[in-house]
Amino acid sequence: MTALLIFSVMASSSVPALNEELQCSICLEVLTDPVTTPCGHNFCRTCLSKCWTNTQTCFCPFCKETFRKRPDLKINTTLREVAQHFKEKLKLGESGVFCDICDERKQKAVKSCLMCQSSYCDSHLEPHRRVPRLKKHTLINAVENLEDYICQKHERPLEMFCRDDQMCVCLSCTEGEHRTHNTVPIEEESRVKKRNTEKEKSSSVELFTDLIRSIERCQSEQLKMMDEQQKAAEKQGKDLIKELQQEITELKKKNTELEHLSHTDDPLHLIQVITLSKETSRHNPCLIPNFSGNRFTIK
């Protein structure tokens, strides 16, 4: 079988399976200048040559079979053509659009004609640049879904936009059911929608910026309030501790005085001191801690 026939048979398989069959197990890429070892495995010639450099025993990198003498590596021309066709198919798959006129090796399409309903490579596009009749055709950048640009009813290019029905129409549509509607060229409507899109984008960016600033402002105010509340709570705590320490000092002083009075033998002095102490306590009551909810007050 010829290389093209072999490739057509192999192409019926899935791309991953075919890629595995044409993959060099050393570089893991599609075979380049493939050579076949005596055990039947294929490698890129350069990859296998590097693998056997500076080694006395030659072996298959895939199955590890050793060879008594170094095999004579000759390029498998049929496999090389199959690998080349597969590489080209992968490139076409990446581009998505290829020339409808190319026979064997499809070239990447550069333009699609809405009048001819075909896509052309740079070479086959030449008549549209030269022939006066073809120069009037509407060309667009190559697209894969060309049918989406054609009116399904009249099979003419969708060149107009109906603002009443918000849909693309062809010239025949504007002469029929859209005759009384507000229709404009799609280029004009595209410019309008592009401007509106830019305005919406600008408004969205502005709104987003305002929201971010608002969030940052609220966060700052919240942190400030929390900081102020913390400082107020710390001050209240310090004042309370100071008052309690003062009360403790006074209580210790009073306790010392009472201790001295308990050992006195002078009744008059005892009565006078106790009476004076009660008078002082009535005008300056003791500070007694009191808890109420989350607040700590002094009575």
Question: Which 8-state DSSP code applies to residue 109?
Answer: P
Closest CA to 167 of 156, 158, 179, 175: 158
Amino acid at position 46, single letter: T
**Distance from C-alpha of 276 to C-alpha of 208, rounded to nearest angstrom:** 74
Closest CA to 125 of 112, 143, 144, 138: 112
Let me know the angle formed at the C-alpha of 92 by 89 and 98, rounded to the nearest 5 degrees: 125
Alpha carbon distances (Å) from 99 to 42, 89, 121 = 33, 13, 5
**Distance from C-alpha of 152 to C-alpha of 169, rounded to nearest angstrom:** 10
Question: 282: alpha, beta or left, given left = phi > 0 and alpha = psi -120 to 50?
Answer: alpha
Q: According to the model, what pLDDT value does residue 14 have?
A: 47
Half-sphere exposure of 228 (CA within 13 A, CB side): 6
Question: Which 8-state DSSP code applies to residue 57?
Answer: S
The separation between the first and the last C-alpha atoms of the chain, rounded to the nearest angstrom, is 109
Alpha carbon distances (Å) from 188 to 30, 41, 194 = 47, 61, 10
Q: According to the model, what pLDDT value does residue 103 have?
A: 84
**Distance from C-alpha of 59 to C-alpha of 87, rounded to nearest angstrom:** 28
How many residues belong to the chain?
Answer: 299
Q: According to the model, what pLDDT value does residue 3 have?
A: 46
Helix (H) or strand (E) holding 140: strand 139-141
The three-state secondary structure class of 60 is: coil
Q: According to the model, what pLDDT value does residue 9 have?
A: 39
Adjacent-strand bridge partners of 42: 36
Tally of CB atoms within 10 A around 12: 7
Q: According to the model, what pLDDT value does residue 273 have?
A: 67
Q: According to the model, what pLDDT value does residue 1 have?
A: 42
Closest CA to 295 of 225, 224, 239: 239
pLDDT in tens, the chain (299 residues): 444 434 443 444 445 556 677 889 999 889 999 999 999 899 999 999 999 988 888 999 999 999 988 898 899 988 888 888 888 777 655 557 889 999 878 888 999 998 898 999 999 999 999 999 999 998 998 988 888 889 989 988 999 999 999 999 999 999 999 999 999 999 999 999 999 989 988 888 888 888 888 888 888 898 899 999 999 999 999 999 999 999 899 888 888 877 777 777 777 766 776 677 666 655 555 444 444 444 444 44
Q: According to the model, what pLDDT value does residue 155 have?
A: 86
